[in-house]
Structure 1
């Protein structure tokens, strides 16, 4: 009885093992058949992949690779470029037009004819009336000299010459006090000295600061007004370090301000600072502007544009250059599918072009689009193994190895026959 039961158990176990082995084999066959078309399709795609090859600094691309990368080229040519430098700045006073109006006599200011900052004073304009004992005494000396000359006309020749020199000295004294010629002639005609001296402006300009009030006593040489001639103004603009070499004294500058949209003021560079600002890495440039209508006011912000002619040189499009920091590289097209890396020396960049100082010849063809992609292939080396990845069969071998692992074994004992069977299939 025991032998019969043992025999039945062995039969049942064998049947179970057979069923499991058959199911595993069926699942493996189904998976293998499903993976085969996929692997075949992937391999076919690999055959249609673009072809790339790298030999040192030379990259060869077939037509499809060039199309997918979007390779474009341009011819190296000579072109006259003009560099446009844009900067901003602030309007400032013309320092050569600043001045002080002073009094040449000591006395008391009885009247003040200019009373507010911002008023314009014309040269020779009366600005104040000052009571001055020195002025009164000078007038009396002049009147006395005139009378002496008139009374002693018939005196000896030497005496007449002395009297004439005294008259000239008295007139000269009035002139040194700032009395105008018209006032002196009026005094000679009336013989009546004035108690108030009219102080006139030695310079013309706009009043920046008033330093005197009516009733105040002033000394000879004391400042009455600070003025500035605003018919010309300065613009101080910041020039970046890379643009310093391109700007020279005398270059024309176009200036615009937000206050007058659409209007352009023309000036010229009158000074370039000799010292670079270490904090901003810029150089101050002074631009002199004509301002006859007074539109440009000190402390007003402005934009400046300087056009610098660079002359005719070899140029390439800016997109064709690869700047690594240590090297400046372009790719030269040699034939339709071959591109070679070349080091060049560049100059100024403007208007979408870069000057080429050495490394290229007129008529060379350079890559202008996909330059970085081509350069990356030279860094990675031969691209063929990557391009052929689609044709490999490694992915097709993965499902058979993974398929048996997804079937749970009923016990540790029957696992060995299943593994042996799979191994036999692999050998097959």
Structure 2
């Protein structure tokens, strides 16, 4: 009778021991002890790249970002910036001559072509003109009259000295000679204005009027041909420009005129000579603005002894404009945040804050900062994009 009881007692003991063992395992697992806890503690928690604390970003020790971020001190730059404007080559107006016809007539011969270089006194063209023939005839008649009056005057003086002549005859001879001199001077001046030197005898028909170059230069414009009639005394037949010195004319916008001064140095680049850098200085600033473009003409005088610069060539004029001292940062430090330009500033060791900046001009990989930074700030110049959320 007692054997079954003992069996039940052993079964109850085994059940109680099993329950206690399971409960102990569960408790040890939950409390972080035992084999389960050891296995868990062997896996270390990963180190975050950075930790955000409000508006600040902290990069903890052993973070991989510490090897990828580069911080640099904000410096200053007060060097001049370059203002680049379109320009073109022009002949110097003070050395440019428009050849207008001295009289109406017709072109008989044309001795030069467009682009030719001419010397002073070189024959340009030959004209025939009725007005020129009249002027030549007037000079010839005035010369003959002057010779005659001189002879009459000398004769009357001889007679007067011999005591045989009347005083009024000498006076008349002197008056006639003075009038003849005045008439010859008028006719000779008229002929000189047509290009004939004083004292040069011309044929009375005046069929050939030679037009010569008043100065050395190049024919930059030509508007007549052989057989063409020229009746407008104000219309240019050709233009001769001395190109030993040319102008580079730039168009400066109204809002930048205050930055340009006479005598200011200018660097000039031309597409025709991409490897060449020309230097000059501002010699002229127009007193008026062009009404259609609201720009002023600014001219730079440049030597052109080799003749490489041709009128109407395109150019770029670079003006050196002084600037006040301002902080500068590398372009690589700039980050876009929505519509703002920002940089990351190190406020203390490995702690950064985002700061909005206003930018100025850019040159040589750096940009001027108008607002948002000061000299001495530490900014992230490399890897800053990794700090973005």
Q: 2:384 aligns with which of 354, 371, 392?
A: 371
Contact 2:68–2:382, Cα closer than 8 Å, also in 1:
yes
Contact 1:344–1:356, Cα closer than 8 Å, also in 2:
yes
How many Å apart are 1:119 and its aligned residue?
1.2
2:356 is aligned to 343
Query: Superposition pairs for residues 101-140 of structure 1, below 5 Å?
Result: 101-114=99-112, 116-132=113-129, 133-140=133-140
Q: Flag the structure with more relative contact order, 1 or 2, with Cα contacts below 8 A and sequence separation at least 6.
A: 1
The normalised TM-score by structure 1 is 0.61
Q: 2:186 aligns with which of 157, 163, 169?
A: 169
How many Å apart are 1:241 and its aligned residue?
11
Structure 1 residues 88, 211: CA separation in 2 closer, same or farther (over 3 Å shift)? closer
Looking at structure 1, the residues matched to 292 and 71 of structure 2 have their Cα atoms a distance apart, in angstroms, of: 42
How many Å apart are 1:234 and its aligned residue?
4.6
Looking at structure 1, the residues matched to 220 and 134 of structure 2 have their Cα atoms a distance apart, in angstroms, of: 30
2:65 pairs with 1:52: no
Looking at structure 2, the residues matched to 242 and 43 of structure 1 have their Cα atoms a distance apart, in angstroms, of: 67
Contact 1:120–1:206, Cα closer than 8 Å, also in 2:
yes
How many Å apart are 1:284 and its aligned residue?
8.7
2:277 is aligned to 264
Query: Superposition pairs for residues 119-268 of structure 1, below 5 Å?
Result: 119-132=116-129, 133-151=133-151, 152=153, 154=157, 155-156=170-171, 158-180=175-197, 184-187=198-201, 195=206, 196-202=208-214, 204-219=216-231, 221=233, 223-235=236-248, 250-257=263-270, 260=273, 262-268=275-281
Q: Unpaired segments of 5 or more residues in structure 2?
A: 1-35, 158-169
Contact 1:271–1:287, Cα closer than 8 Å, also in 2:
no
Q: Unpaired segments of 5 or more residues in structure 1?
A: 1-35, 378-428
Task: Give the CA RMSD over aligned residues.
Answer: 4.3
Residue 192 of structure 2 aligns to a residue whose secondary structure is helix
Structure 1 residues 162, 309: CA separation in 2 closer, same or farther (over 3 Å shift)? same
Structure 1 residues 351, 241: CA separation in 2 closer, same or farther (over 3 Å shift)? farther
The normalised TM-score by structure 2 is 0.66
Residue 368 of structure 1 aligns to a residue whose secondary structure is strand
1:295 is aligned to 308
Contact 1:76–1:365, Cα closer than 8 Å, also in 2:
yes
